[in-house]
Amino acid sequence: MSNKGDLKDKVFLVKNLYNNSDFNQALKLTSDLAKNYSDNSFVQNLHGVVLIALNNWKIAKDYFLKAIKINNNSPEALNNLGLSELNLGDLEQALENFLKAIEIKPDYENAHDNILKILTYFKSKKNKDNPYILANKYISEIKFKYDQNKHIDNIDIINFYKKSYDIVHKNLSKIDTKETQIYRHNSVDLNCNRHFKIFNNFNVIPEFCFSCFKVTVQAKTVLELFKLYFVFDRLDLKLKNSRKLMIESRKDVSGNYKGFIYCSSVEEGENIKNKLKSILIKNVGNDCSISLKRGCSEFALKYPLYKKASKDASEMMLYNKSWKKKEEIIDNKIWNKNSKKGIINHSLTGSTLRDILVMRNWILYARKIGDNSFH
C-alpha cells in the first residue's frame, strides 16, 4: 500500500483535475486509490464524488455506501449518497440521508441546501416531526387567493410573506440560504452546466443552445417580483415549461428582477409571451417589459446577434459547425460509457420553505439597492 505522503499527492492531483472538469482523468486516479485504500472512508467517498461528476449515479452510490460502512458518521458521504439517490429517483431515502448528514454536522451547507431543494419536489411521508418538513408543510398550507383575471394586492403579498416567515422563524430560527433563484422545473434536462463548461473553456456556444429560447420578464420592483412568483407558479402551460425567478447579480447584465420561461422554439415562445402579457396586465398592472430572446445573456455578451429570436430563421445567428469539435473535447472529459442523466423531478405547485428563504434574500437585495416597495 502507498504511504500517506503519496496519498496526499494523489488527492491533490485529483482535486486539480476535478476543478478543471477533467473528470475521466480524475477517475483513473481515484479508481486506483479506491482499490489501494479499500478501508479508507475518505478515499471511497472521493471516488464516489468523481463518479457523480460523470453522472455514474449507480456506481457512485456503491462507493458512498462503502464509505459509510467504514465510517457511519461521515456527513459528506451521507450527503453524497443522498445526491445519488435523488438522481436515481429515490427521493424519500435521499431526504433521509440529507437529514442524517445535518444531524452529524448541523452547519453543513450542502446538505442543508439539498434538503431545501428536495422538498420542492415531493412531500415526505416520513420524519414528519422534523423542523424542515414541518415548516415546509405549514408554508404549503397557507392559502393565497390568486385569480389570473384580478389584480394582486400589495397587502396580500406582504401578509403572505409575513405568515410564511413566521413559520420559518418558529421552526428553524437560524436557517438561511445563499440561493437567490426560485425554480419550477419540468422533466427536461437543459444540461446548462455542460453548456457553460464548453462556453467558458472555448468561448463557443453549444449547438443545443441554438434551440433554447426564453420569455423574459423584467419586474420594476421586488414587490412586482413577488407578484410574478404567483403568476409563474399558477401559470397553466400544457408543456409545463421550466421557469425561473431571480435577482440579477451578473456583471454587464441590465435589470434587477427577472423571470424566465424556457421554450424550445420561437413559435412556442411567442404564444407564451402573448398569453403571459395579458395575465400580467391584469395581475400586476403592466406587462413588466416582457420579451422573447434566445439562450443565456452571457452568450449574447460575446455574440450580440445570438440573442435575437425571430420567426424568420434567416434573421437569426446560425450554429458554427466547427464548434462541434470543442464540444467533443469537453464531453470526453465529463462523460463516459456509464454516464446517465439523473432523473429530473417536476416541481410541486405552491410555496415551499426554500421559496420563502429565497424571498428573504430578494428583500435584503431590494433594501441594498434602495428599493423600498416591500415594507
Identify whether residues 235 and 107 lie together within a single domain.
Answer: no
Q: Quick one: pLDDT at residue 372? A: 94
Task: Judge whether 104 lies within some domain.
Answer: yes
Res 238 pLDDT > 80:
no
Assess whether pLDDT exceeds 90 at residue 3.
Answer: no
SS3 126: coil
Torsion of CA 89, 51, 61, 30, to 10 degrees: -170
In a domain, 100, yes or no: yes
- Contacts of residue 171, defined as CB under 8 A and 6 or more positions apart, other chains included, come to 131, 132, 134, 135, 138
Overall residue count recorded for the chain in this entry: 375
**Domain ends where: 81, 102, 118?**
118
pLDDT > 60? residue 352:
yes
Q: Quick check: 2 pLDDT over 70?
A: no
Strand order in the sheet with 243-247: 181-184, 243-247, 257-263, 213-219, 290-294
* Residue 150 belongs to some domain of the structure: no
Question: What CATH code is carried by the domain that includes residue 49?
Answer: 1.25.40.10
User: Would 81 be classed as within a structural domain?
Assistant: yes
Question: Is 166 part of any domain?
Answer: no
> 304 and 204 in one domain?
yes
Residues forming beta bridges with residue 290, ordered by sequence position: 217
Q: Are 243 and 259 contacting, i.e. CB atoms less than 8 angstroms apart?
A: yes
Whether residue 302 is found in the same domain as residue 189? yes
Residues 114, 42 share a domain: yes
Burial 334-351 (b: 16+ CB within 10 A, else e): bbeeebeeeebbebbeeb
Least Cα distance to 172 among 117, 106, 121, 125 occurs for 106
Residue 254: which residues within 8 A CB-CB, separation 6 or more?
248
The confidence score (pLDDT) of residue 341 equals 86
- In angstroms, the CA 121 to CA 113 distance is 13
C-alpha cell of residue 107: 452547519
Q: Is residue 168 part of a domain?
A: no
Domain match, 198 and 323 both: yes
Percent of the chain with pLDDT over 70: 99
Q: Is residue 38 part of a domain?
A: yes
- Do 88 and 217 reside in the same domain of the chain? no
Which of 270, 271, 314 shows the shortest CA–CA distance to 292?
270
Span 90-110, average pLDDT: 97
* Mean residue pLDDT across the chain: 94
Statement: residue 105 has pLDDT above 70:
yes
What stretch of H or E contains 106? none
Same-domain check for residues 87 and 204: no
Judge if 102 and 194 occupy the same domain: no
Q: Look at residue 287 in the predicted model and tell me its pLDDT.
A: 85
Comparing 81-90, 144-153, 196-205, 234-243, the range with the smallest average pLDDT is 234-243
The pLDDT tens digits of the residues spanning 307-327 come to: 999 999 999 999 999 999 999
Question: What is the DSSP track for 131-177?
Answer: HHHHHHHHHHT------TTSPPPHHHHHHHHHHHHHHHHHH-TT---
Q: Are residues 24 and 112 in the same domain?
A: yes
Q: Please report which residue ranges of 20-108 form alpha helices under DSSP H.
A: 23-36, 41-53, 57-70, 75-88, 91-104
Domain total for the chain? Answer: 2
Range of the domain at 90: 4-118
What is the value of pTM for the model shown? 0.93
Locate 170 and state its grid cell: 418558529
Which position has the higher pLDDT, 254 or 222?
A: 222
Give the model confidence (pLDDT) of 117-145 as tens digits.
999 999 998 888 999 999 999 999 999 99
Domain for residue 153, yes or no? no
Considering the domain architecture, whether residues 235 and 359 belong to the same structural domain is answered as yes
Indicate whether 228 and 114 sit together in one domain. no
Amino acid 1: pLDDT: 45
Using a CB cutoff of 8 Å and minimum separation of 24, what contacts does 69-76 make? 70/39, 70/40, 70/41, 70/44, 71/41, 73/104, 74/41, 74/45, 74/104, 75/100, 75/101, 75/102, 75/104, 75/105, 75/108, 75/111, 76/45, 76/101
Task: Point out the domain boundary residue: 97, 118, 139.
Answer: 118
Tens digits of residue pLDDT in 32-77? 999 999 999 999 999 999 999 999 999 999 999 999 999 999 999 9
| Long-range contacts of 296-302, Cβ-Cβ distance < 8 Å, separation of 24 or more | 296/192, 296/196, 296/209, 297/250, 297/253, 298/196, 298/199, 298/250, 299/199, 299/205, 299/209, 301/252, 301/253, 302/199, 302/203, 302/205
| End residue of a domain, out of 83, 100, 118 | 118
186 and 275 fall within a common domain: yes
